[in-house]
Structure 1
Amino acid sequence: MDAIYVIFFIIIIVLLITNNNKLNSRIGELELKIIDLKNMIRGLNVPKPTVENQKTVIEPEVDYVVKPVSEKAPDIPLPPPPKAKEPEIERHIEVINDPFSNIRKTPKPEPVIEEPRLSFFERYPDLEKFIGENLINKIGIAILVLAIGFFVKYAIDNNWVGPAGRVGIGILCGGILIAIAHRLRNSYKAFSSVLVGGGLAIFYFTITLAYHEFHLFDQTVSFIILIVITCFAVALSMLYDKQELAVIALVGGMSSPFMVSNGSANYNALFIYLITLNAGLLVIAYFKSWRVLNITAFGLTVLVLAGIVYTLPVGAYQISFTYITVLYLMFFLINIAYNIRENKKFITSDFSILLINTALYFSTGLYLLTMMHDEQFRGLFSASIGALNLLFSFVLFRTKRAEINILYLLIGITLTFISLAAPIQLHGHFITLFWAAESVLLYWLYQKSSIKLIRLVSLLIWIAMLLSLMMDWSQLYISQDVRFAIIANKGFITTVFSAICTWVLYAFASKSHENGPLISPAIYNYVAIILLFCSGALEINHQFLNRYPATDLNILYLMLYLPAFVYVFCLITDRFFTTKMSRGVIVGIYAATITVYLLLTPEFFSLQSSMFIAHTADTSHFVAHWIGAIFILLIFYALIKVCRVCFQAYIKPISWILSAGIVLFLSLEICLLSNLLFYTKGTTMDHIETVYIKTALPVIWGVLSFALMWLGMRYKIRVLRIISLTLFTITLVKLFVFDIENIPAAGKIAAFFCLGVLLLIISFMYQKVKVIIADDGEPKS
């Protein structure tokens, strides 16, 4: 029976899938067939359904109504079912009487509609808008202008029109384009602007051809016509409120003098024209915030002036200086007019143009003064620029409409050029002083205004100061024949001032909390230390080379200055400054100082020998060496303290290195001391040193070994005891292998006696404290 139901379910599903449109009409027929099946089932002996079967059958929810059909079902007589089994059979039939329940309950999956692939311009709508609204119309107007040009050329080649007619056709075509643009100005603003630009271009080229090719107008008339076209373009730009038209007018106006040029240089007329053109630009800048126009005007004017200034005749320098001053003032007003009128905020481009305008005016003025042989007025010229900017800042401050940043900028320019007057008027090393002060001033202005451009300029000027300082060193200290006053000379003062300014920059930078500084404040600090050190080192080196030539005393005093500077500076920094250098840097400085000192020890022996034998210098100068040696001992002590506190993880290699350095240092210094004590005219330095190496040196090493052993036992540092035993071993090997021959009996007795006593003492110490050293703890701090 289950197989019959499955077959019918499959048939019904196939019919539903293949013929959904006829489903409603066949529902009635299917109901008739179901009734027939019921009648047939009643006549069969159906077994009682078990509990397991009932669990597997899901009772459907009948939620549809069977529509009546036109044909009446035939009555088929059925045998009466057994009464006892009827309820169970009927219940079973009710359970399975809806074969469509699973189909009705299972929702039909919705068909997946694949979205159509977007086109390139649908994915980039802004690009489509740019091409459709901007690029195509500009290409179109360019093609149209070319077409008109080809048509006019064709007409000219076939002699259809004369020269006047040709010019008229060009003007007519340009006028038609402008008229069409004016008609479309409200509905199609961008398109109308392009048409106006094309019309203006036709006007410019037509008048240029009329002058050069057809000679219909002379130079003056052609120039006046071009000026009228420029004024017309400016009026249209104001009417349409289009910056693009103003830029076109500007380019056309700048090109007009060259369009009607006949090769002769009329500098006065050209300067007057540039001033007139920029005066119109000043009027526009007062009413419109068109920064692109201002930048374009500034750039084109600078290009034109660059070609003019360097080709001026001798007699035109003075009047050109006046014209350039007027243009400088005009561009200053152009770039502040609208912002002051509307009380708007200045942006980076505004500050950039103001700074570049001032710098170019200053450099051009210096050039013109030099060409006029009036170099004595360069300092006055620099001070006048500072005074002029001070006047500007005062006027803007009184108006109370200027942004605070522009006031800071003008004050910075004022101080800069007033300070620059002295170095320009005097000598080159004052440039270094000025740049050092200016870098500090600009960084202070940056902190007050938060204008990042000023911080960048401060960094660039600081770098320029360092380069200028190195040039000063090469000029001042390269010659040994020029004698300077001690300390009170331009080289020392300039270097100290540069170091102080650099340290002030470090103080400013370390207090500021801006994101992404250009350089780390620590760089300023380290450079300031280096400059401060160089100020004294260069002074000592130059003074001794100049006053004591061919004596090498400069090395002696430099090796006093180096450890003294390092020790005193690190001591002051550690005790009196809140911002301290890192311990790693301090260790590096100490180690480098000791290394340089030890590497130059052969020079000390050579200098001592020349003092005793050749009498190149008084032996009293060697006191500077002993003072330097005391500072080296202090540096050793400070280095040991720092390493014990901060570098416990590397205490073993550090102990070996420091022990070796101390042993080497003391061995060499005591050798120099023995030379000083035992040298006489009857003995040679080689003999004294040989005796010292074979007799005194083993004793010294033995004493040092004993000191290391005592420290190792006192502080329970095993590595020091190992170093002590190693040094004892080296001393014994040296004594029995190399020193036993050719030494005096007294020296041999003294060496062996001292070493023997030291070894016995050490052995006793080991026996005395063997319980303590058996289990070494952490070294005491």
Structure 2
Amino acid sequence: MNEFVAAIIFIIIFIIFNNLNTKIRKLEKEISDLNYKINNTPPAQTEVIHKKNSTEETSFPQQEQSPLVHYQNIQPSEVNENISTPVQKDWLAPVSDFLKQNALTIIGIFTLVLGIGYFVKYAIDKNWIGEAARAGIGFCTGAGIIITGHFLRKNYQAFSSIITGGGAAVLYFTATIAFREYHLFTQNTAFIITALITAASIILSYYYKNEVLIIFSLIGGFAAPLMISTGQSNYLFLFIYITLLNTGMLAASFLQHWKSVGWTAYIFTTGYLFFWTNESPELLSITFYLISYLIFYIFALHDYFRRNILSTSDILILALANFSSILGLLYIFDTLKYDPPIVFPLIFAAVNAILLFREYTRKSFGVAYSVFAGLVTSLITIAVAIQFKTHLITSIWAIETTLLLFIWKKTGHKIFKTFFYILFPLVMIAQLITWTEYFGTKDFNIIFNPPFITSSFTIVSIMINLYLLRNTVKETQEKSNNIFEDLITAISYGVIYITFLLEITYHISEMPWSAITSTGLLFSIYYIFILLLFRKLLSIRNDVQNLLIYLFFFLFVINTSVSTLSVVTAVLTKKLNLSFYFLHLLQWIPFIYIGYRIIPTSAFHKQKISYWIQALALIISVSCELHHSYILMVSNNLPHSYKASEHFNILYLPIIWTILASIFIYKGLKKNIQEYNKIGFVLIGLMVLKLYGYDVWQMDNISRISAFIALGIILLLSSFAFQRLKNMIRNMVDKKDKTEENTD
């Protein structure tokens, strides 16, 4: 019953296909007649002209040809214009166009292969055919599909390529199943069969001059070892085969100038090499790394030696071939403990230096010169990094990001910037792993230790990246609000901060927690201070400057109030020396400089709230600083410090607030800044509330009298100074008015 239904479905499909084919032929005839009426040209003549123009256009990239061209109306001037100004397309456009135009074909051949597979499975379940017959059907089916593609190649080139590739896929899978499942022949025989399939596919690709087909063939060729693998690691045999495959690829790409073929081979070869390196690192693999490096370097430099041109694809594969080979070779040397590991980056640097010298002697300082100079510099930097025993992946990836950004700046090809965006997060992940080396290790030297040296190379790399990004924005006059660049900038400064903070914290980790916290806050304050000090050189935007100033005041207040109090407690309990307390006083240097030099010239000063933020930080910090100093001067132990603290808060704190309030009011009157006046009077109000609401009830008579007398004198002197200042201002205004009247 099922067989009968399948036969009926097959007949219906055949009838539908035949009807559609008849309609298509009628439509083609109608189009030909219509073309004859419009152009007054017989169809045969039109076809001749079309073929002639098609021949003339073969020198142009396929993606730049228009699908509909009226050949009779093309003028010579239009042809020249088209030649001089070719249409620039995105590098993904050919792939996208191919998928759009051939999606149904690809799905169709995939479906056909599945259908054949299900049919064979059904036949096997019914015991219609034996194992040898199954393999024979598979080989015949694959060959039949390839023959069908051969007859369709003239009129349907893309369709024929996919059909032929599908036929090759059927042959590959048939050979795999015949070996792995049915055991019809040995592994060597299976490998010979798959190698012959690959060779036949490559020959057909070259004969048809079809790039799509050779890509299918290469994918099958590289997948063949996996298909016939038995789990035994015969890497020597594998990479001899891969080297022969790459040699054929190189020949085909030279003859037909197919870049995608080289990229396909590079991706598979690198994957196999990395797997071998990770699975079983041995000296033999070094030979195949060097052979592969040579093959892909020759592939990348083909156009350079022939026409002195380095395309985007060539530059990218040059960079990737250098760095992937270096990564694998250094990993082998590091795992096997061989020396010196820097020999390979220096050898590769020498190879690129020869090409750099060639450009220099020709006085050619264009793209090629910049690319080779960047490669030489990067490889020498890697050699230095490895010599200092840095972490391999972190250093290489960090240097590679800088190289990609440098090449993007010199060539303008955005693909390098895209790869930079992809690689930068990987560098940050590798850097996080590098920092974990601080935990669990207790014998690192100061500065000269692997995590810090590795981080130093990352810091140098990201600083160069920031410089290149900033200069590129200036040159192109673009806005600097790109979210990716802002995020990269923030992360880069964060990496610098964390690197030094971890190094400092690691070496003082044996000290009390209060000392670690205070030192970390002090470093944070100075780090922000340095960023603000060099804000113009670093091109820090005004909104970021404001954020940094807010953060600076917050950390300053936290360190002065909370952190320093814990240091005082540690000093009184003999856990820290008194000299450590004076270390934190260094934070007042950036506080004073920012207050008097940076804030008055920044956008932060234009906001009214800035006066309140700055004043609040000053009031809290001065009060806490004097409080901590007083406790250390009068206390010998921790219990006695509690009484001293209470005495200071009741007796001296109101006096301090009164003096500060007087200073704010005086400054507000002198510079005519109302915000300072408001701050001063608010502080006096708080002092009065505190004094009369709490302090006076805690004092003895002598302290109460002393406090009132001192506060009274301060207030009277302040009032006198204010009155005198008002008179001075009034006199200056009167003199100015009289001068203006005399002038009139």
- The TM-score with structure 1 as length reference comes to 0.62
Alignment of 1:356-505 (within 5 A): 356-365=320-329, 373=336, 375-376=338-339, 378-390=341-353, 393=355, 405=367, 408-409=370-371, 411-424=373-386, 427-429=389-391, 436-459=398-421, 462-476=424-438, 481-482=442-443, 484-485=445-446, 498-505=458-465
- Alpha carbons of structure 1 residues 400 and 189: separation in structure 2 relative to 1, 3 Å: farther
Aligned counterpart, 1:68:
none
Distance 2:234 2:329 in 1: 21
Query: Does structure 1 residue 672 correspond to structure 2 residue 640?
Result: no
Report SS of the residue matched to 1:581.
coil
More helix per residue: 2
Work out which of the residue numbers 590, 600, 609 in structure 2 matches 1:641: 600
Aligned to 2:553: 594
Query: 1:662: how far off?
Result: 2.8
8 Å CA contact retained: 2:323, 2:396 = no
SS of residue paired to 2:696: coil
SS at match of 1:594: helix
Within 1, Cα distance between the matches of 2:100 and 2:493? Answer: 57
| Contact 2:391 2:434 (C-alpha < 8 Å) held by counterparts | yes
Which of 210, 232, 244 is matched with 1:276 structurally? 244
For residues 751-762 of structure 1, the aligned pairs below 5 Å read 751-761=707-717
Give the equivalent residue in structure 2 for 1:111: none
1:649-688 pair list within 5 angstroms:
650-651=607-608, 653-679=609-635, 684-688=640-644
Q: Distance in 2 between matches of 1:287 and 1:439?
A: 33
Note the C-alpha offset of 1:672.
Answer: 2.7
Letter in 2 for 1:337: H
Residues 448, 615 of structure 1: alpha-carbon distance in 2 compared, 3 angstrom cutoff: same
The letter of the residue matching 1:597 is F
Cα 1:434–1:747 change in 2 (3 A) is farther
Q: State the match for 2:534 in structure 1.
A: 573
How far apart are residue 753 of structure 1 and its match? 1.5
- What is the Cα deviation at residue 509 of structure 1? 1.6
Structure 2: gaps of 5 or more residues: 1-26, 32-66, 69-96, 734-744
Hey, what's the Cα distance between the residues in 1 that align with 2:681 and 2:176? 101
Instruction: Tell me if structure 2 keeps the 8 A contact 1:397–1:407.
Output: yes
Tell whether 2:248 aligns with 1:285.
no
Verify: 1:510 aligned to 2:470, yes or no: yes
Pick closer, same or farther for the CA change 1:773–1:523 going to 2, 3 Å: farther
**One-letter amino acid matched to 2:711:** L
**C-alpha contact (below 8 Å) 1:134/1:190 kept by paired residues:** no
Residue 694 of structure 1: aligned partner? 650
Map of 1:714 onto structure 2: 670
State the match for 1:48 in structure 2: none
Q: Which structure has the larger Rg over C-alpha atoms?
A: 1
Q: Which structure 2 residues correspond to residues 144-155 of structure 1 after superposition, within 5 A?
A: none
Distance verdict in 2 for CA 1:500–1:744, change over 3 Å: farther
1:151-205 residue CA offsets vs partner (Å, 9 max, x unmatched): xx99xx999xxx99x9799879959985x98788767766776887788789889
Aligned to 2:311, the other structure's residue is in SS state: coil
Give unmatched runs, 5+ long, in structure 1. Answer: 1-117
Query: Is residue 379–residue 425 contact of structure 1 (8 Å, CA) maintained in 2?
Result: yes
Q: CA deviation at 1:288?
A: 0.1
Contact 1:197 1:248 in 2 (8 A): yes
What residue number does 2:682 align with?
726
Q: Find the partner of 1:622 among 581, 589, 598.
A: 581
Q: Which residue of structure 1 aligns with residue 44 of structure 2?
A: none
The amino acid across from 1:725 in the alignment is: F
2:564 aligns with 604
Q: Tell me which amino acid in the other structure corresponds to 1:243.
A: E
Within a 5 Å distance, the mapping from 1:102-141 to structure 2 comes to: 135=105
CA separation in 1, counterparts of 2:152 and 2:597?
86
| Distance (Å, rounded) in 2 between the aligned partners of 1:640 and 1:330 | 60
Distance 2:652 2:102 in 1: 98
Q: Partners of 1:434 and 1:131 in 2: how far apart?
A: 41
Matches within 5 A, 1:521-532: 530=494
- Asked whether the 8 Å contact 1:335–1:353 carries over to 2, the reply is yes
Displacement after TM superposition at 1:512 (Å): 1.0
CA contact (8 A) 1:510 1:521 kept: no
Distance 1:132 1:469 in 2: 44
Is this contact kept in 2: 1:141–1:194, CA < 8 A?
no
Letter aligned with residue 509 of structure 1: L
Helix, strand or coil at the partner of 2:540: coil
Pair 407,568 (structure 1): closer, same or farther in 2 beyond 3 Å: closer
Contact 2:145 2:164 in 1 (8 A): no
Q: Which moved more, 1:382-391 or 1:659-668?
A: 382-391
Other-structure match for 1:326 = 291
Q: 1:398 to 1:289 in 2, by over 3 A?
A: farther
C-alpha deviation, 1:511, in angstroms:
1.2
Provide Cα deviations, 1:635-656, integer angstroms capped at 9, x if missing partner.
444576357x7544x42x4444
Matched to 2:615, the amino acid is S
Q: Distance in 2 between matches of 1:333 and 1:499?
A: 34
The total of aligned residue pairs comes to: 628
User: Quick one: percent identity of the two aligned structures?
Assistant: 23
State the partner residue of 1:113: none
Instruction: Please provide the CA RMSD for this pair.
Output: 5.7
Q: How much has 1:752 moved relative to structure 2?
A: 1.2
Cα distance in 1 for residues equivalent to 2:588 and 2:366? 57
Residue type at the aligned position of 2:656:
I
Distance in 1 (alpha carbons) for counterparts of 2:585 and 2:469: 41
* SS, match of residue 692 in structure 1: helix
One of 508, 512, 522 as aligned partner of 1:550: 512
What SS is found at the alignment partner of 1:740?
helix
Distance 1:710 1:670 in 2: 22
Task: Report what 1:43 is aligned to.
Answer: none
Change (3 A) 1:432 1:259: closer
Q: Which residue does the alignment assign to 2:302?
A: 337
Residue in 2 aligned with 1:109? none
CA contact (8 A) 2:310 2:368 kept: no
Distance 2:352 2:604 in 1: 55
Kindly indicate whether the alpha-carbon contact (under 8 Å) linking 1:708 and 1:723 is maintained by their aligned counterparts in 2. yes
* Most deviating of 746-755 and 674-683: 674-683
- Aligned residue in 1 for 2:695: 739
- Counterpart amino acid of residue 285 in structure 1: S
C-alpha deviations, 1:734-774, integer Å up to 9, x for none? 33332224534443222112333344456667777889999
Deviates more, 1:302-311 or 1:495-504: 302-311
Q: Report the alpha carbon displacement of residue 285 of structure 1 after superposing the two structures with TM.
A: 1.4
Does the residue aligned with 1:684 lie in a helix, a strand or coil?
helix
Maintained 8 Å contact 1:382/1:421: yes
Give the letter for the 2:551 counterpart.
A
